Copies of this chain bind each other. A is one copy, B any other.
């Protein structure tokens, strides 16, 4: 900021009446933040990463919510869409979107994170921006019917222990979900941040499975079948598993453990000289609420408490903030978080000691190590 002799400012003075009206608004043409598509994927597959470094607060704009696609984004007419619930139930039922919208609803803010988010960090190929390293997590206010309400309507037979959930996309992506979780907090969601789901997030209907890996939050949901053992679909038997050093793979590792990342200042950004900068970032846990976030600005010599944005919501992104005055010297900065189970986000070394470095069929999943950024004397930030 600059001190003023005379109270006058240099910017252009507007004399003309501004833009015409838009029924459905758009962002300013000066704004360029966009999702980043991983290279090498073929049509309809791959992932699009959220530009975390450009975001504020805890809500991810729906236009920038991450995607992980397996057969593209289907175009579904909500007037034709139906949800079938069958299998080990007293009365199989079909629900139209109109049926669902009459039913008792809930709205809750939850993050969704791809199991593979930040997996390249485990591989020793650290992302050079928050978007590239951690951009497969986003957060929204979801609205829909509790899955438990629908299951009560169909009458679950006592033999049932799992729910098979299937999407309407061309690959019929499907996962098995333990009945206990289905009765606990899953939402059959049609709303995202106040309006209908976006196409990339499963329009017109998806599962929101709070705190569990993204892939199980089935998009374009068309079928739920009550079963007595997991269906062992491709995405739970092979993909989304964690290969261990002994050659065995962990399966059904649903929960995304506590993780945090500094999003500003961070890799890809440049500090404008020494002085005050607010350090800001995101923390989350699939087990519940974030309890503490600590920040180090000196390579881990000290860790100090960051301020947490209130209210702190369960299984939602939590924004943290930390005041920092940069002295112009090279250093590394990072955050680490603790959730309300008492669990602390581990270092990469701690994780690698347990999990090894053998990638599974789809790379590394469920990595949640501490992420460091290097601040150079020039003010540039890179991965550390």
Contact = CB atoms under 8 A, between A and B. Distances in A.
A203 B18 CA distance: 12
Q: How many copies does the complex hold?
A: 2
A113 interface: no
B170 A14 contact: yes
Contact of A11 (B4, B35, B80): B80
B107 A309 contact: yes
Interface residues of A, number: 113
B18 A73 contact: yes
B11 A198 contact: no
A249 interface: no
Contact of A7 (B25, B92, B95, B193): B92
Contacts of A105: 56, 278, 280, 321
A143 interface: yes
A48 B27 contact: no
Interface string A56-85: 111111111101010111111111111010
A17 B194 contact: no
| Main secondary structure on A side of the interface with B | loop
A55 B195 contact: yes
Interface string A1-36: 111100111111111111111111111111101110
B278 A4 contact: no
Contact of A72 (B17, B169, B195): B17
A375 interface: no
Interface in A185-242: 190-191, 193-196, 198-200, 203-204, 222-223, 225
Contact of A195 (B35, B56, B194): B56
B193 A104 contact: no
A91 interface: yes
A54 B48 CA distance: 28
Given A18-B169, A26-B63, A196 B311 contact: no
Given A11-B168, A19-B72, A21-B48, 18 more contacts: A9-B222, A11-B81, A14-B76, A17-B71, A18-B69, A18-B73, A19-B74, A21-B35, A22-B35, A24-B63, A26-B63, A28-B78, A31-B195, A57-B191, A58-B141, A59-B194, A61-B62, A61-B193
18 contacts: A7-B225, A11-B82, A16-B72, A16-B170, A18-B71, A18-B72, A18-B169, A23-B34, A25-B35, A25-B64, A25-B199, A28-B203, A56-B105, A59-B59, A59-B141, A64-B194, A193-B193, A311-B313
